[in-house]
Amino acid sequence: APALGKAATSALPRPPTRPAVFVPVHRTPEMQAERLKLPILSEEQVIMEAVAEHPIVIVCGETGSGKTTQVPQFLYEAGYSSDNSIIGVTEPRRVAAVAMSQRVAKEMNLSQRVVSYQIRYEGNVTDETRIKFMTDGVLLKEIQKDFLLLKYKVVIIDEAHERSVYTDILVGLLSRIVALRAQRRRPLKLLIMSATLRVEDFTQNQRLFVRPPPVIQVESRQFPVTVHFNKRTPQEDYSGECFRKVCKIHRMLPAGGILVFLTGQAEVHALCRRLRRAFPASRSQPPGEEDDKDSAEEMRKFKKSRARAKQARAEMLPQINLDNYSVLPAGEPDEDREAEVDDEEALGSDLDLGLGDGDESRPDGGEQPDASLPLHVLPLYSLLAPEKQAQVFRPTPEGTRLCVVATNVAETSLTIPGIKYVVDCGKVKKRFYDRVTGVSSFRVTWVSQASADQRAGRAGRTEPGHCYRLYSSAVFGDFEKFPPPEITRRPVEDLILQMKALNIEKVINFPFPTPPSMEALVAAEELLIALGALQAPPKTQRVKQLQRSRLSCPITALGRTMATFPVAPRCAKVLALSHQHGCLPYAIVIVAAMTVRELFEELDRPAASEEELSALKARRSRVAQMKRTWAGQGASLKLGDVMVLLGAVGACEYAGCAREFCEANGLRFKAMLEVRRLRGQLTTAVNAVSPEAGLFVDPKMEPPTKSQVTYLRQIVTAGLGDHLARRVQSEELLDDKWRNAYKTPLLDEPVFIHPSSVLFRELPEFVVYQEMVETTKMYMKGVSAVDERWIPALLPAYCQFEPPLEKPAPTYCPESGRVLCHRASVFYRVGWPLPAIQV
């Protein structure tokens, strides 16, 4: 069994092999005082001795105990970054990598040249860098370049409890790298840090660690948190419920910050707006000031729906006398106040707020709450710009109460100071995939018990706190204990490609902390074989043997090239094929835009009112018109949504990537900025593979010529080939649900072109699509038309060639006869001659 806790680790055999160096750090006295409050400080000795004696150490501690900010400092001071080596820290989230590097630099009184970060698009790493925070994906790429990670003396895998796929893979890889480095007498230390106690997947996994590493448990100074469940069964409108709960807390409970957990960015913004209107902070922070997008329009819609709701309520509840509610802050616009009061009145009575009926049951019995206290409302989610995220760490303005409305990021990655009340909607938004087909959908689901407890724990950091759960204790009892690791929930082709590029051929033997399912592995390997990234097993092997041998196919040269691009394998194939006819610059734009996803703002949302509906409709038709313009006619229209991406990015860059341009044309400004950054990064990656290409990012790129468009169609077909679909012919119509439907090799169900596609009305016979999403129906998004004659040449893996028929139909070439391709439920009849193209 692993050595547990302080006693066990300090009883380990002597002598410690700690580096003798001590690197001084000149912290400010204030900072030093703040550090000393952190529980992990008292464990420094224990942790450092364990690190000195063991190659791998696990550190567990409550969120906020100081793991992320302090452990790298301990290591730095103990000389683990001497001799120009680096202390590496990986984070599953970009937000955390950036924020933590800034925080640690500040604590150590060092510049960001020394304590730096590297995330996918950017970084500030220099030659002087000694502590480097990065996303787990960045370290995985580095392992490809230098398998032994010789730059590093220590690698810290932070937030291991999140079980992100890259974290899992890194733990597996590093368990091997540590052994190899020991053999070479250049030991590497591995620290795994985790918030919750569920470390058995790491410690009890014999394939991962032969000898279980010691686990150091940091006792946290957690204050008690009183958890209040809702009595009622949970309802759909948890956002509204959050709003009411925050209002009640703010009006009735003593000072202390409020942290609200919601599921997504849009919800966070909506609630922030609503709260700011209800409790304006001050003149310097007008409502909506920090909203990054669409605020004017949203606000207008919001006002309208609010007015309608108010009217509806007035009709329903004419007997309520609003004059009785005097707890509201003075000087607020009346219309909103009334509406909010109504909300509370209508729902307040049956809520168990833990507030009871009278003063005596108020949790702290403390000071009289100040109802006119303004609320300092801040959003927090992973895509928020770093400088805006940093606001939650700044002191709250004098005389206001902090209210942070956050997504899951506030659960463990970031600790916000001064939180006393947590409002937990109990939900989380997750992307779900069908493991085999890769069909994805976003779903809002209940969190796990572990997550709910983490969220509650945020309330007890500085003093006893309260957590209001907007669900009943019975529902909580039905939650899963822990969230399942990500690797078991998503397709793994990108991982498998990265691993093969590391020459890990027998993926099946890899020491995953939790292995992906066999189906997912087989599906990934098949896709990679079809894309030409892996060598197909010899044809003679039949299906039964295939499965085992497939899981050990070696990587091809094409696969290696593909693995160097930081994009999904299908997109990487598009890039790898584009080195002809001047297609590369266009392919880079296409792949960047596909990778960033959701270039266009969401216009499918339900409307709350007639006016909102007509505004939405107007906007939809405007965007549809722009898409048609960008798609053009003829060959270019056949490139479909891919052409729209090219046109949109081209037009946007031509307009200087201005926010106004994006807003006017329904493009997400942030997405366009990401496309720009990814374009730069992919251009660099392509230049590294083929320096002779000498590519550069040209914002004012000419549109592709007609023949280039055709080549691009072929390239896209070859890259997305496993996402091929054929329109159901009228003679095949089984019933009405198949009208305008397509068939795909993997699904028995009808699938449709998404209404947002420019090919929605064109209905080409064959299409490839970027992704399939399931909403009311199965929809293909990112659709491009395929010329059927290309299929046998470009996608032989998806065809079965039958011997020539005895009497070939006169329209087909006499030498070859008719070619019939068949796979699963899809039949492709392919004509002749094949097009002459280079692949």
> If we measure between CA atoms, which residue out of 83, 91, 378 comes closest to residue 71?
91
Decide if 501 contacts 530 (C-beta within 8 A).
no
Query: Which residue, 409 or 495, has its beta carbon nearer to Mg ion?
Result: 409
CB under 5 to 8 A by kind: which of Mg ion, ligand ADP, none does 393 bind?
Answer: ligand ADP
Closest distance to ligand ADP from the beta carbon of 99 (Å): 6
Query: Which residue, 68 or 578, has its beta carbon nearer to Mg ion?
Result: 68
67 binds ligand ADP (CB under 6 A): yes
Q: What is the DSSP letter of 155?
A: E
b/e code 405-440 from CB counts within 10 Å (16+ = b): bbbbbbbbbbbbebbbbbbbbbbbebeebbbbbbbb
State the Cα–Cα distance between residues 382 and 428, nearest whole angstrom.
Answer: 14
61 binds ligand ADP (CB under 6 A): yes
Query: Which residue, 276 or 461, has its beta carbon nearer to ligand ADP?
Result: 461
State the Cα–Cα distance between residues 364 and 254, nearest whole angstrom.
Answer: 8
63 binds ligand ADP (CB under 6 A): yes
CB under 5 to 8 A by kind: which of ligand ADP, Mg ion, none does 254 bind?
Answer: none
Segment (H or E) for 519: helix 518-530
Indicate which single residue of 69, 437, 578, 710 sits in contact with ligand ADP (rule: CB under 6 A): 69
Query: Which residue, 221 or 293, has its beta carbon nearer to Mg ion?
Result: 221
Non-local CB neighbours of 268 within 8 Å, separated by 6+ positions? 262, 379, 380, 381, 405, 406, 407
Both tokens of residue 572? 């990487």
Decide if 230 contacts 466 (C-beta within 8 A).
no
Query: Which residue, 70 or 556, has its beta carbon nearer to Mg ion?
Result: 70
Query: Which residue, 454 or 498, has its beta carbon nearer to Mg ion?
Result: 454
Closest distance to ligand ADP from the beta carbon of 443 (Å): 28
Indicate which single residue of 65, 175, 744, 757 sits in contact with ligand ADP (rule: CB under 6 A): 65
Indicate which single residue of 2, 55, 66, 704 sits in contact with ligand ADP (rule: CB under 6 A): 66
72 binds ligand ADP (CB under 6 A): no
Question: CA torsion 342→346→350→353, rounded to 10°?
Answer: -20
103 binds ligand ADP (CB under 6 A): yes
Please identify the residue of the shown chain whose CB is closest to the bound Mg ion.
68
State the Cα–Cα distance between residues 676 and 569, nearest whole angstrom.
Answer: 20
Closest distance to ligand ADP from the beta carbon of 161 (Å): 11
Whole-Å CA distances, 621 to 624, 644, 756: 5, 15, 10
Binding mask 160-189 for ligand ADP (x = CB under 6 A): ------------------------------
> If we measure between CA atoms, which residue out of 218, 263, 213 comes closest to residue 241?
263
> If we measure between CA atoms, which residue out of 616, 675, 681, 615 comes closest to residue 646?
675
Decide if 38 contacts 251 (C-beta within 8 A).
no
> If we measure between CA atoms, which residue out of 109, 99, 106, 72 comes closest to residue 88?
72
Residues numbered 607 to 666 that lie near Mg ion (CB under 5 A) are none
Closest distance to ligand ADP from the beta carbon of 393 (Å): 3
Query: Which residue, 157 or 227, has its beta carbon nearer to Mg ion?
Result: 157
Mapping DSSP to helix (H, G, I), strand (E, B) and coil, where does residue 726 land? strand
Instruction: Tally the C-alpha atoms within 13 A of residue 291's C-alpha that lie toward its C-beta.
Output: 21
CB under 5 to 8 A by kind: which of ligand ADP, Mg ion, none does 61 bind?
Answer: ligand ADP
Decide if 124 contacts 103 (C-beta within 8 A).
no
Query: Which residue, 69 or 90, has its beta carbon nearer to ligand ADP?
Result: 69
Query: Which residue, 38 or 58, has its beta carbon nearer to ligand ADP?
Result: 38
State the Cα–Cα distance between residues 795 and 724, nearest whole angstrom.
Answer: 10
According to DSSP, the β-strands at 257-261 and 401-406 are parallel
Of the listed pieces 60-68, 106-114, 448-456, 809-817, which binds Mg ion according to CB under 5 A? 60-68
Segment (H or E) for 820: strand 819-823
Decide if 403 contacts 247 (C-beta within 8 A).
no
CB atoms within 10 A of CB 299: 15
Closest distance to Mg ion from the beta carbon of 261 (Å): 17
Of the listed pieces 61-69, 358-366, 611-619, 638-646, which binds Mg ion according to CB under 5 A? 61-69
Binding mask 80-99 for ligand ADP (x = CB under 6 A): -------------------x
68 binds ligand ADP (CB under 6 A): yes
How many positions of this chain bind ligand ADP (CB under 6 A)? 15
CB under 5 to 8 A by kind: which of ligand ADP, Mg ion, none does 65 bind?
Answer: ligand ADP
Query: Which residue, 243 or 421, has its beta carbon nearer to ligand ADP?
Result: 421
State the Cα–Cα distance between residues 499 and 26, nearest whole angstrom.
Answer: 42
Indicate which single residue of 3, 38, 646, 830 sits in contact with ligand ADP (rule: CB under 6 A): 38
Indicate which single residue of 111, 297, 316, 393 sits in contact with ligand ADP (rule: CB under 6 A): 393
Of the listed pieces 66-74, 522-530, 604-612, 780-788, which binds ligand ADP according to CB under 6 A? 66-74
665 binds ligand ADP (CB under 6 A): no
Query: Which residue, 158 or 486, has its beta carbon nearer to ligand ADP?
Result: 158
Of the listed pieces 64-72, 199-207, 401-409, 537-545, which binds Mg ion according to CB under 5 A? 64-72
68 binds Mg ion (CB under 5 A): yes
State the Cα–Cα distance between residues 398 and 405, nearest whole angstrom.
Answer: 20
Decide if 530 contacts 573 (C-beta within 8 A).
no
Helix 584-596 to helix 669-689 angle (10° resolution) is 130
Query: Which residue, 355 or 456, has its beta carbon nearer to Mg ion?
Result: 456
Decide if 587 contacts 678 (C-beta within 8 A).
no
Closest distance to ligand ADP from the beta carbon of 395 (Å): 10
State the Cα–Cα distance between residues 54 and 56, nearest whole angstrom.
Answer: 5
Residues numbered 413 to 452 that lie near ligand ADP (CB under 6 A) are 415, 417
167 binds Mg ion (CB under 5 A): no
378 binds ligand ADP (CB under 6 A): no
φ, ψ (nearest 5 deg) of residue 18? -60, 145
How many positions of this chain bind Mg ion (CB under 5 A)? 2
State the Cα–Cα distance between residues 65 and 195, nearest whole angstrom.
Answer: 9
Closest distance to ligand ADP from the beta carbon of 265 (Å): 21
State the Cα–Cα distance between residues 438 and 524, nearest whole angstrom.
Answer: 10
Of the listed pieces 61-69, 245-253, 298-306, 618-626, which binds ligand ADP according to CB under 6 A? 61-69
396 binds Mg ion (CB under 5 A): no
Query: Which residue, 31 or 689, has its beta carbon nearer to ligand ADP?
Result: 31
Of the listed pieces 59-67, 510-518, 616-624, 816-824, which binds ligand ADP according to CB under 6 A? 59-67
Q: Which residues bind ligand ADP (CB under 6 A)?
A: 38, 61, 63-70, 99, 103, 393, 415, 417
Which residues bind to Mg ion, rule: CB under 5 A? 67-68
